[in-house]
Amino acid sequence: MTPTQKGYAPNLTVFKKSLKAASVETSIENLISLLKRRQIKNSRPCAMATAELLRIVVARDRWTDLGKLIAHIQDVGRRLVEAQPRELAVGNIVRRVLGMIRDEGNEDRKNEGSDSGSATGSPQLEFSIPAPTTTKRPPSSSLRFASTDGVHFTEDRPTTRPPLMTSHTSYAVANNVPVQQSMFNLLSATGSPNLTPSGANSPHGDSTPHPFALSEKMINSTKDLRAEVVNGIEEILDELEQVDDQIAAYALEHIHSNEVILTHSSSVTVYKFLLKAADKRKFTVIIAESYPNDHEETHLAVMGKMKDPESEEEDKETYLKSLQAAGITVILVTDASIFAIMSRVNKVILATHAVIANGGLVAAAGARIIARAAKAHRTPVIVLSGVYKLSPEHPFEFESLIEYGDPGSIVGYEDGTLVEKMEVDNPLYDYVPPDLVDLYITNLGSHAPSYLYRIVADHYKPEDVNFNNPELLF
Amino acid sequence: MDSVGNVPPKTLTGTFDIVETYHRILEDDPEITMPVAAIEALVELLAQTDAVTVYETLDLIQTQSAFLKMNIPNSIPLQAGTELFQQYILSCLKPSKTSSGNFEAVRQHLVSNGRLFVHRAKNARDMIARHGQNYIRDGNIVLTHGGSRVVGALLRKAADVKRAGGNVRFKVIYVVKDQRSIECRTVIDSLRAKGIPVAEIDEGTVAYAMRKVDMVIVGAEGVVENGGIISRLGTFQIAQLAMAAKKPFYVAVETHKFVREFILSQDDMESDIDQKIIRFEPDYVEDPTPKTPIRNAVDFTPPKYIAALITENGPNVVAAVSEQLIFLYSV
């Protein structure tokens, strides 16, 4: 972002390169310090770095069963989140990976279950309550259970992964429906065999019963699982790379001819969205410069010097097509004129840093002023956000999400006499409450703020939501 | 299953009175909630009946639930319990991937696990407390109202955090009403015992006190489909005052209190709850407050006032209520 980051200072590109040579533990420490020093910052780089790191962890680490892997990922995730708790994307990626591993585990066990024709006896599906509806497990199954035990799920789970004994988590895991069925928990006969996972395709081709191939499968399955999980993480990385283009695909539904769009700061997501709409439509974009933290980039963007994020990979800078070249009329305004100009605006499009489960968002400072002004003028506010920015964390205190930056960009240090006499705050982010937002556009489509909780529930498993908060883990 | 017509109508053995059972369960265990008490009463009914067929049993449960509902002045909370119970049986009977469809097994499970349900319901309260304690930050002032046991547990949990060496010092403003000061008393005393400063205020003082308050946390007797809550009389006005002062209004509530009713305003409750709160008198009366159970009177708080529902599954937005209910009753 700042010029100093180029050249010798380590950034995402440098970190990615270092991953190839360094050991797992060094890489973890490396990323922690990069996050702490803010040398990797903003949602997308943080998310990518986290996913890259977890891929290395899964691929290189010695793990024999998924329980241990989950515990290890939780541990790494916890350290990363502690390093930079305000980069919610880090925690989101960790949760996604954890959820994926759990899915793999479920599918794997289901395969075995279908092999032996009975409910599996894995720890996650074992319950403290004797259930009258439990059908007798055929004797072969107990044998199988004992034999596969060491491979996938050990009984003595590590302490960092507390037992999933509450009925609702096990039930939810089993059915892949996180929230909905929870009301039956009160009465449910947990532990009945009918709670085994249902539906979903098997990751392995051989879902047909293979009682004799079992032993062979056990040897292969760790390797298979490792490949599956690494594949899954690569899918997440792909998603992170494509997310802006996917969001941009919805542009034509939302931007119409001769509209006046207001946005602020320099966001690649918004920029690509506008460019996409400009393919077919002519419209005007008003950009608030977002002084003092992002005005230089915003000015560059208006001048047609918006850096293409993908160009970072090849160490040479390429720029996105300029808005003017795409046929858009661009007007740059100061932040002070936002309210004045709002009466002429048809739509506000905001980029975001993170979106939280209640439908509110954390965005570059100034976003709340714009959203309030838009509310006052009844102007619709659209927020563009990749799903990876959606955090299941519920902010108990919004102030804790706001990061404060260098006050020197407001009052320069050369102005020493002034700095000594007053306190200068430079918040980098704003919290925008859900009632100021009309629509979210993610790579999955458009959603009302009140519906976001559902998207969140679809993406993260309930038992992973509080992975960094052991007190709420059960 | 036998065809219903061939089976002689069997009724209850002895004299089982569901209303009396319900009251007894509530009195025996002051920690129990109304929906769970209703479930318990139905479990006892199930244990005592000698009905054998599915249809007979379901019919019995239905009529007895309706009877119970008719005889309790504020029936919406217990309706959450009876409907959950019936729906659970129905969903278990449907042979599917998630159910064996064996009626006798379902019956046995319900009859033998009565205490377990109560235990789970209490665990839910503990979970709410664990989630909810995070809302309370150092230096906060929390306003609450009514004798909600969930809120009591939540505040005590937050006080424990303080004791455990955390840095959470908070104060509580408790809105106390004369008619039911006893239930508030227990909560207030337990908080003071943990070293939390509590201010007791009158309902008329809420607007005055609101400026000092950081958040409002209340309990609820029932949560209706649109996410609004049925709670002790006076909750609605506190919610309105909180919104006017832009203070968050949280509701700590177990999911078993979600009920499939669609209430939009106070008037909509009248068919279920006849509270006789407002009485027009042509002549002067000695005591204008009605004698009828004002102690248990409730009002309805629409969802737009509620910032979040703190349930045992974590904080929920109000929109999640309808989803859970629709899902539950479409099984």
Same domain, A415 and A327: yes
Distance CA A252, CA A276 (A): 7
Instruction: Give chain B's largest Cα–Cα span.
Output: 70
Per-residue pLDDT averaged across B115-135, rounded?
A: 87
Residues 6+ apart with CB under 8 A from A256: A281, A283
For residues A157 and A21, the model is more confident at A21
pLDDT of residue A111: 67
Per-residue pLDDT averaged across A5-15, rounded?
A: 67
Give contacts of B123 with chain A, Cβ < 8 Å. 166
A144 CA: distance to closest CA in chain B (Å): 23
Residue B198 has pLDDT above 50, yes or no: yes
A-chain residue closest to B121, CA distance: A186
One-letter amino acid at B123 equals N
Same domain, A285 and A350: yes
pLDDT of residue A151: 37
What are the tens digits of pLDDT across the range A323-334? 999 999 999 999
8-state DSSP, A395: P
For residues A262 and A207, the model is more confident at A262
Give the three-class secondary structure for A471.
Answer: helix
Residue A186 to residue B256, Cβ atoms within 8 A: yes
A-chain residue closest to B134, CA distance: A396
Vertex B278 angle, CA B277 and B280, to 5°: 140
Distance CA B244, CA B118 (A): 38
Using CB atoms and an 8 Å cut-off, which of residues 350-379 of chain A contact chain B?
357-359
pLDDT of residue B293: 52
Domain extent at residue A450: 249-472
Residue A369 has pLDDT above 70, yes or no: yes
The pLDDT > 90 percentage for chain A reads 38
The pLDDT > 70 percentage for chain B reads 86
Residues 6+ apart with CB under 8 A from B298: B74, B221, B230, B231, B232, B233, B269, B273, B275
Vertex A457 angle, CA A71 and A207, to 5°: 65
A-chain residue closest to B119, CA distance: A186
pLDDT confidence bin for A381, thresholds 50/70/90:
very high
Residue A176 has pLDDT above 50, yes or no: no
- b/e burial code for range A303-319 (CB count within 10 A of at least 16 → b): eeebbebeebeeeeeee
How many domains is chain A partitioned into structurally? 2
Same domain, A225 and A305: no
pLDDT confidence bin for B289, thresholds 50/70/90:
low
Distance CA A271, CA B307 (A): 33
Distance CA B82, CA B69 (A): 9
What are the tens digits of pLDDT across the range A260-316? 999 998 899 999 999 999 999 999 999 999 888 888 889 988 888 887 776 655 556
Q: Which of B100, B120, B314 faces A194 most closely, judged by CB atoms? A: B100
Q: Which of B100, B135, B313 faces A168 most closely, judged by CB atoms? A: B313
Residue B257 has pLDDT above 70, yes or no: yes
Q: Which residue has the tokens 């129990």?
A: B32
- What average pLDDT does the structure give for chain A? 76
pLDDT of residue B167: 66
For residues A198 and A367, the model is more confident at A367
Instruction: Give chain A's largest Cα–Cα span.
Output: 83
Same domain, A146 and A273: no
Residue A110 has pLDDT above 50, yes or no: yes
pLDDT of residue A11: 79
Residue A453 to residue B117, Cβ atoms within 8 A: no
Q: Which tokens sit at A393?
A: 């964390």
Look at A224-233, A414-423, B254-263 and tell me which has the smallest mean pLDDT. A414-423
pLDDT of residue A441: 95
pLDDT confidence bin for A436, thresholds 50/70/90:
very high
Distance CA B119, CA A54 (A): 40
A-chain residue closest to B100, CA distance: A194
Give contacts of A129 with chain B, Cβ < 8 Å. 113, 116
Residue B278: how many other CB atoms lie within 10 Å? 7
pLDDT of residue B99: 58
pLDDT confidence bin for A106, thresholds 50/70/90:
confident
What are the tens digits of pLDDT across the range B301-312? 999 999 999 998
CATH number where A349 lies: 3.40.50.10470
pLDDT of residue A384: 96
Give contacts of B307 with chain A, Cβ < 8 Å. 358
Domain ranges of chain B: 4-112, 123-329
Residue B98 to residue A195, Cβ atoms within 8 A: yes
- Touching check for A180 and chain B: CB below 8 Å? yes
What are the tens digits of pLDDT across the range B95-112? 665 556 677 888 888 888
Q: Which of B85, B96, B109 faces A131 most closely, judged by CB atoms? A: B109
Which of B39, B93, B99, B109 has the highest number of chain A CBs within 10 A, making it the mutation to test binding with A?
B109
Q: Which of B84, B100, B313 faces A186 most closely, judged by CB atoms? A: B84
Q: Which tokens sit at A330?
A: 């661009």
Residue A346 has pLDDT above 90, yes or no: yes
Give contacts of A471 with chain B, Cβ < 8 Å. 130
What are the tens digits of pLDDT across the range A37-82? 888 888 999 999 999 999 999 888 888 888 888 889 999 999 999 9
pLDDT of residue A428: 92
Same domain, A231 and A268: no
The tally of CA atoms less than 13 A away on the side-chain side of residue A119 is 21
Distance CA A461, CA A465 (A): 7
Q: What is the CATH number of domain B4-112?
A: 1.20.120
- Touching check for A168 and chain B: CB below 8 Å? yes
Residue A178 has pLDDT above 70, yes or no: no
The tally of CA atoms less than 13 A away on the side-chain side of residue A458 is 9
pLDDT of residue A464: 85
pLDDT confidence bin for A208, thresholds 50/70/90:
very low
- Touching check for A246 and chain B: CB below 8 Å? no
For the domain made up of B123-329, give the CATH fold.
Rossmann fold (3.40.50)
Residue A97 has pLDDT above 90, yes or no: yes
pLDDT of residue B91: 82
Residue A433 has pLDDT above 80, yes or no: yes
The tally of CA atoms less than 13 A away on the side-chain side of residue B67 is 16
- What average pLDDT does the structure give for chain B? 84
pLDDT of residue A144: 36
pLDDT of residue A192: 38
Q: Which residue has the tokens 């065809």?
A: B3
Quote the radius of gyration of chain A (alpha carbons, Å): 25
pLDDT of residue A275: 94
Per-residue pLDDT averaged across A80-97, rounded?
A: 92
A307 CA: distance to closest CA in chain B (Å): 38
What are the tens digits of pLDDT across the range A128-139? 333 333 333 333
Same domain, A268 and A358: yes
Give contacts of A186 with chain B, Cβ < 8 Å. 36, 39, 84, 117, 120-121, 124, 256
Distance CA B4, CA B2 (A): 6
For residues B96 and B300, the model is more confident at B300
Same domain, A79 and A167: yes
Cis previous bond, B95, omega within 30: no
Per-residue pLDDT averaged across A181-188, rounded?
A: 69
Per-residue pLDDT averaged across A220-228, rounded?
A: 77
Between the alpha carbon of residue A285 and those of residues A141, A272, B143, the distances in Å are 65, 13, 46
What are the tens digits of pLDDT across the range B39-52? 989 988 888 887 77
pLDDT of residue A211: 44
Residue A442 has pLDDT above 90, yes or no: yes
